[in-house]
Amino acid sequence: MLSNCNLKFTRNNTNTLYISQALYKQLNMSGRTTTVRFGQNSVNLTVKRMKKATHNIVLPISVKSMLHIPNAKSCSVTYTKDQLQLGPIIGIMTGVIQSPGKPFGSRTEFIKQILQAGNKAGYIYAFSPRSVDWAEGTAIGYFLHQAGHIVKKRVSLPNVIYNRLPSRSMEKSPSFIQMKERFLRRGIPLFNWSFFDKWDVYRLLDGTSESRKYVPESIINPSADQIKRMLEKHQFIYLKPTSGSLGKGIYRLTYNSKKGYFSRFRSNGKNVLLRFRSFGDLMNMLGQRKGRLSRYVAQQGVRLVEIDRCPLDFRFHLVKNEQGKWQVAAIGAKKAGRGSVTTHLRTGGRLLTPQQALGHAFTEEKAKDIIAQSKEACIQLSEAIERNYSYQLGELGFDIGIDQKEHIWMFEANSKPGRSIFKHPALKAQGRATITNLVDYCVYLSPFKRRSED
């Protein structure tokens, strides 16, 4: 049985849990003793009922310390099999740096927003994987104080973990993989296991005919012959590093039978365009013989809808909700900077709402129809990826393109999507919605999931 309670503490040293009569009845409790659990820690206590009608639970201050409960507050409580559990406890696993006012670096404001939203659900904190004490079942938790600053406390390991670790190299290390598996063995669900490499997504979608229609032709570790064939077939292609992000290291290659070969890329903060008379010269520039393309994906170029001859693409931000179902929480559009290979803001891209972007190419009614179809496609893609993925997912970001014939294309999927689209004033509410949904999904994965019969 699940209910809410007001958790309080007393300096009374007896090993006794005091609970209001009304809450005792609502939880269908029985007996004079119970096991009280908070995250990974538990203690056996005598139960005494209070006549007050309020939903209060009062614990000795010594038990607060023993269970590593950070503070008194309103939270959820469950009772099953003579065990009373308090929570939920949500952990955000991320990198922590020793910087006054910015303990999470550039992600500090985002982490604070999650902590603020999660405070209403129960206990929520950010933590570094390096702070975990497996013997005690605790970690150093970073909590958001009501005054707005961050405070550190030793706290029990959480009921569920949202992985926002920013380091790709750390996530691939054997020790970190073993640590995540250790959480799972303790019965602690952890979602968004790691970053995707670009080829991971195409592999996960391979064989799913209903979603493959959205994926451009893509070849990993392409040979010179394969690149030449793709250029002759599609006129232009993209070369993308498999583990890259933010558009770094991307080449846009173009073939014109009369003018030769062209390569567009970003170098030293500038957009560069080079022309080559022969395909061999192009390959020499790319360093293909030196193995520089061994960690690249060649991807079919698509003629996207444009504004002022600058292509558009869209970021669809999907999260799971309180029922564990995928939903599109936010959509942003990005217009490429003049001469840029990508639509990233750092290379001159500009943020737009999807209505603003599609309104230049289609009627209002047609734009609404394309957005609705794109939402359905992203949910279909999310479900297909999840079916073939070995770990729990709760958040995905898709880079979506619409070509000039209204076909929908999925260029990339990100398991830890960035949040640059929420800098647009019209998209801030959607940004807050993604955070609310993430907290709801954390509660869904915890022992405090609310079922229809509750």
Query: Domain check: are 157 and 48 in the same one?
Result: no
Contact 144, 150 (CB under 8 A): yes
Shared domain check, 276 and 425? no
pLDDT at 159: 98
CATH number for the domain spanning 318: value is 3.30.470.20
Closest CA to 79 of 27, 152, 123: 27
Instruction: Please determine, for residue 340, whether its predicted confidence score (pLDDT) is greater than 80.
Output: no
pLDDT band per the 50, 70, 90 thresholds, residue 454: very low
Query: Residue 159 belongs to a domain with what CATH number?
Result: 3.40.50.20
Crossing angle between the packed helical segments 428-445 and 108-118, to the nearest 10 degrees: 60
pLDDT digit string, tens, across residues 211-254: 889 999 999 899 999 999 999 999 999 998 887 666 678 899 99
Determine the Cα–Cα distance for residues 294 and 433; give it in Å rounded to an integer: 40
Q: Within this chain, do residues 353 and 396 fall inside the same structural domain, yes or no? A: yes
Q: Whats the size of the chain, residue-wise?
A: 454
**For residue 200, what pLDDT is reported?**
84
Last residue of a domain, one of 86, 110, 129: 86
| Total structural domains within the chain | 4
* Rounded average pLDDT over 77-93: 96
Closest CA to 165 of 157, 154, 173: 173
| Residue 52 near residue 8, CB atoms below 8 Å | no
DSSP string, 385-449: HHHH-SSB--EEEEEEEEBTT--EEEEEEESS---GGGGSGGGHHHHHHHHHHHHHHHHHHSTTP
Lowest mean pLDDT among 76-80, 288-292, 305-309, 368-372: 288-292
* Three-state secondary-structure class, residue 264: strand
The reply to whether 205 and 343 lie within a common domain is yes
Of 301, 318, 346, the one marking the end of a domain is 301
Whether residues 157 and 45 share a domain: the answer is no
pLDDT at 148 over 90: no
User: Is the pLDDT confidence value at 94 over 60?
Assistant: yes
Angle of CA points 312, 269, 228, to nearest 5°:
60
Quote the pLDDT of residue 267. 84
Picking from 301, 336, 360, the residue at the C-terminal end of a domain is 301
Tell me what percent of the residues of the chain surpass a pLDDT of 90.
70
Token pair for 387? 């079916």
Dist. CA 59–CA 70, nearest whole Å = 13
pLDDT of residue 246: 61
Q: What is the pLDDT of residue 229?
A: 96
Q: 79 and 67 in one domain? A: yes
Q: Are residues 64 and 130 in the same domain?
A: no
Range of the domain at 294: 217-301
Question: What is the value of pTM for the model shown?
Answer: 0.91
Domain co-membership, 238 together with 269: yes
Looking at the predicted structure, is the pLDDT value of residue 198 above 90?
no
Q: For 285-319, write each residue's pLDDT tens digit.
A: 888 655 567 788 999 999 999 888 888 999 999 99
Lowest mean pLDDT among 9-18, 23-32, 173-182, 330-339: 330-339
Q: Residue 73 is part of a domain; what is its CATH number? A: 2.40.40.20
Q: At what angle do helices 279-286 and 224-234 cross, to 10 degrees?
A: 120
Backbone angles phi, psi at 147, to 5 degrees: -80, -5
Q: In this structure, are 200 and 311 located in the same domain?
A: yes
The answer on 290 and 175 residing in a single domain is no
- Kindly state whether residues 408 and 449 are assigned to the same domain: yes
CATH code for the domain in which residue 289 is found:
3.30.1490.20
Residue 376 CA neighbour count, 13 Å, CB half:
8
Q: Are residues 115 and 221 in the same domain?
A: no
